[in-house]
Amino acid sequence: MAGGVQIDTDGVGDFGTGMQKEATDGFAEIAGRGADLHRQGVGFGARMTPSDIVTQAKVRYAEALAHSEANLRAYQTAAAVFAEVAEQIATQFAAVDVNSEQAQKQVQYLMSQAADAANRALSIDVPRGAV
């Protein structure tokens, strides 16, 4: 089809369902495991006499952990956004003529909204971690 959008609504729906499962189960499990591993904070250097170098390393390590965990949560949110829009596209376009200009504009609008929402989710501000 020249210049149009072709939508395999079954495939898009399956993608949305799979992405939603990953967002709720996969990312959540990984984020939970990471949080469990680092629940006690930064342990290295605990038996040493405190020094500026060790303290700085611990602060940087704590910040890296905080960023990693925040990124996982943000990716989980972004995955859920894209899963939702995929399911919307599959539902809305299962019985319509996707050759129409209106349908193409709706797909572009939904994808643009999803991209904006995902970008907001990925624009995280992580506070500095305490040691």
pLDDT tens, residue by residue, 53-93:
888 888 888 888 888 878 877 888 888 888 888 888 777 77
Region 110-118: what's the mean pLDDT? Answer: 83
Task: Compute the radius of gyration of the chain from its Cα atoms.
Answer: 21
Which CA distances in Å does 49 have to 40, 59, 129? 19, 16, 21
Among 30-39, 78-87, 109-118, name the one with the lowest average pLDDT.
30-39
Q: What is residue 125's predicted lDDT score, i.e. its pLDDT?
A: 57
Helix, strand, coil % over all residues of the chain, rounded to 5:
70, 0, 30
Which CA distances in Å does 82 have to 9, 35, 109, 114? 15, 25, 13, 6
Higher pLDDT, 80 or 125: 80
Amino acid (one-letter) located at 109: Y
Higher pLDDT, 129 or 39: 39
Contact of 7 with 96, CB cutoff 8 Å: no
Distance CA 96, CA 87 (A): 15
Furthest CA-CA distance within the chain: 72
Q: What is residue 131's predicted lDDT score, i.e. its pLDDT?
A: 43
Is pTM, for the whole model, over 0.75?
no
pLDDT averaged over the chain?
A: 75
Distance CA 35, CA 29 (A): 10
Q: What is residue 130's predicted lDDT score, i.e. its pLDDT?
A: 42
Q: What is residue 87's predicted lDDT score, i.e. its pLDDT?
A: 82
Residue 94 scores a pLDDT above 50: yes
